[in-house]
Amino acid sequence: MRVVITGLGVISPVGNDTLSFWDSLKEGRSGVDKLTTFDATAFDSRIAAEVKGFDPQAYGISKKEAHRMEKFVQYALASSRQAINDSGLDLNKEDKERIGVLVGSGIGSLRIIEEQFQVYLNKGPSRITPFLIPALIVNEAAGQIAITHGLKGPNSCVTTACASGSHSIGDAFNVIRRGDADVMITGGTESCVSILGIGGFCALKALSTRNDDPKKASRPFDAHRDGFVLGEGCGIVVIENLVHAKKRNAKIYAEMVGYGMSCDANHITAPDPQGEGAARAMKAALKDALLNSVDVSYINAHGTSTKLNDKIETSAVKIAFGDYAKKVMVSSTKSMTGHLLGAAGGVEFVACCLSVHDDVVPPTINYEYPDPDCDLDYVPNTARKAKIEVAMSNSLGFGGHNASLIVKKYK
């Protein structure tokens, strides 16, 4: 069964709709700046890629609902509403038992845990809000989307750290291929720019400390990279079986053709030092898509801007693509959005769909100093017009979770 992408929705540090997000990527605009969510003076890293100017009421979320709903859920509702509208789906005319939701998140909410623990310390357990558990649990994004739109098909949530969004889309792809749904609303969402989020990653020494030059802090594959920049946001897509899409004369961005997943089984945070695990996910996606490595025009890399990830992902591409590795275009949009953790796969999948649709490869910005360990074509600093027949999106998560997704031009 063929599966196509018919709707896109994004909330991100570089734009709160698909058009502004895509324009920002093509223009190489960074969404990284000094942190405003809390006073980060005492932290090693004082920068982040925060969502700016987000108004939940613009997406039909009332003030009362927003007060009881954490940002990662708000972002998912807003992005899904965008994607549904973009797809042209008239939900009143659809069989809602044949429409499902599969939205992942790496962490869910840390903010409300911080807030309510202070309530406990200052006022005692009787004052803890009854909304604490419903607000923080990761599956609430998928649940709220279904509740809002009355969608009664398959509903689930994937939590595989930074691979959550990609695994969600891949699993939703398989739901449709099995015939268990006609349409799936899927992607990833995250909002962990908080005291514990920044503090925890600082303790891991994973974040960039380029505090005096935030716009240049996220620099994947560059020799002077010093860590990732924590971001937030959401990427949601509407995918559906081709017969269903054609029946309603839907516009089609691209066709989804491959999904591969693997595990490093190596270390809780460090990737497989040879890149074998990530390479297996890429090979599995190619096999699933019935494609050869030379068919791929563009890879949206995981590309976090950490010393280990970028070197090892480069090795993985070489293993999976062989001699063709130096000919395929590779870029990391995290150079602009920062690392959105569980939302990264969703947002980057949207970028891949648009790349295939518009024949544009977004750049890796801040690429100034070549690293001999990172020697591929990273599309440095400027977007590139090129015929993009096939695009791959990679996500590699803590715990050794790897996911690769493949889309191609719809014909």
Q: List the catalytic residues.
A: 162, 302, 339
**Secondary structure letter of residue 380 according to DSSP:** B
235 in Cβ contact with 343 (< 8 Å): yes
Query: Tokens 């890796």 identify what position?
Result: 364
Give percent helix, percent strand, percent coil of the chain, each to the nearest 5: 40, 20, 35
Alpha carbon distances (Å) from 294 to 45, 136, 259, 320, 323:
40, 43, 17, 11, 9
State the Rg of the chain over Cα: 20
Place of tokens 């791929």: 296
- Per-residue tokens: 110: 């840390």
- Residues 38-73 as b or e (16 or more Cβ within 10 Å = b): eebeebbbbbbbbbeebebeebebeeebbeebbbbb
**Which residues, in sequence order, are bridge partners of residue 104?**
188
Pick from 336, 302, 311: nearest CA to 229: 336
3-state secondary structure 155-218: EECCCCHHHHHHHHHHHHHHHHHHCCCCEEEEEEEECCCCHHHHHHHHHCCCECCCCCCHHHCC
CA distance 220 to 306: 7
Pairing of strands 33-34, 384-385: unpaired
Q: Which residue has the tokens 């595989």?
A: 160
Contacts of 160 (CB under 8 A, 6+ apart): 104, 106, 167, 397, 399, 401, 403
Contact 173, 167 (CB under 8 A): no
